Amino acid sequence: MAEVRFWQPGDLPWLLQMAAVTDWEIMNPSDRAVARPEVVRANSHRNLLATLASPGGTAIVTADGGRPVGFLLIGIRPDDRTGEPQGYMADIYLEPQYRGRGLAKQMHELGEAYLRWLGIRRVTNWVHASNPLGQKTSEARGFQLWGVMMEKLLTG
């Protein structure tokens, strides 16, 4: 039976691996066509380690028989407008056979309880435009659209 808990040091190799998998999977196809896997992997590792090492940063892990099968990465950073600390749910991943069981919801609930315990009242997450399931899941968890990030490739 799967359990939802805070990460432990023994989870780190799996977290590093799955952070890279997650970053690759959520990348839109046009970016993936030009992306270098080793660069994506190095950046995902750097982001995961920096988040875990930052004050208040943590990961919520779903484990089955002690083996990690899912994670939610949580960071704390200042609000761009007020400077007040806010939570940031950076990445979420569940191995495919564990999806649809309410485990992502449990990870979110534990993450939100942790943020409340820290006195945090605002949490954000960034969902790729090419990830409609992530958008739908975020909306189901009470997140509201508050911004749109856009990109332009410069030529000439």
> Does 102 have pLDDT greater than 80?
yes
Gap between the Cα atoms of 60 and 38, Å rounded: 26
Tell me which of 2-16, 83-97, 129-143 is least confident.
Answer: 129-143
What residues does each domain of the chain span? 2-140
**Overall pTM surpassing 0.85 (yes/no):** yes
Q: pLDDT by residue (tens digit) across 104-150?
A: 999 999 999 999 999 999 999 888 777 787 788 888 888 888 877 77
Any idea which fold 2-140 has?
A: Aminopeptidase (3.40.630)
Among 118, 117, 114, 135, smallest CA distance to 126 is for 135
